[in-house]
Copies of this chain bind each other. A is one copy, B any other.
């Protein structure tokens, strides 16, 4: 009968780190918003840094059930799934008026250098994300060129997502994100075209010969 105090602390900290950043968020604020005393927080986490690791583990555990799972279920086509995922992040930016962005990306730039013991946990989150993209690319089989570096392309998709979100937040406009996704679409369309047997054309999905 473990209390949900720990979970409440994790979710509150995750939200505040996303809204304000790690350094700018005080432990006292986390306690107040979680409705918990500092002694309880330090019962479950030995330091603010340990709490940050807990938050990153929380994200690692919830990527599939919250993000990847629903998208895989909603979009059967592995290539379109990539753009459905990017559209999911776009939807978050619309809902927040170009705020927040990606919690892992934010922490990556804030603490990778200063907290070397935390960095690997950020790395794992990114690795899991792009590994799922790589699996989708493999699922696409010979619709993509045989000599394509699918692992490299999977990291490229993450690059596009993070870089697009960054510029969207900086400009307070979705334009740069949409521009980036459009360029990625053009690139992947060119890859699909290159892998297509000569003499065939395709405009909508599931058309062959």
Contacts and interface: CB of A to CB of B under 8 A. Distances in A.
A113 interface: yes
20 contacts: A21-B114, A23-B24, A99-B113, A100-B113, A105-B166, A108-B169, A110-B110, A122-B170, A123-B170, A123-B171, A123-B172, A153-B179, A155-B175, A156-B184, A158-B163, A159-B180, A161-B163, A162-B167, A163-B164, A183-B187
Contacts of A158: 163, 167, 176
A112 interface: yes
Given A163-B159, A176-B155, A170 B126 contact: yes
Given A123-B172, A183-B187, 18 more contacts: A21-B21, A21-B23, A106-B109, A123-B170, A123-B171, A149-B183, A151-B179, A152-B182, A155-B176, A155-B179, A156-B184, A158-B167, A158-B176, A159-B159, A162-B162, A162-B167, A163-B164, A190-B194
Interface of A: 19-21, 23-24, 99-101, 105-106, 108-110, 112-114, 119, 122-123, 126-127, 149, 151-153, 155-156, 158-164, 166-167, 169-172, 175-176, 179-180, 182-184, 186-187, 190, 194
A176 B156 CA distance: 8
A164 B159 contact: yes
A108 to B, nearest CB: 4
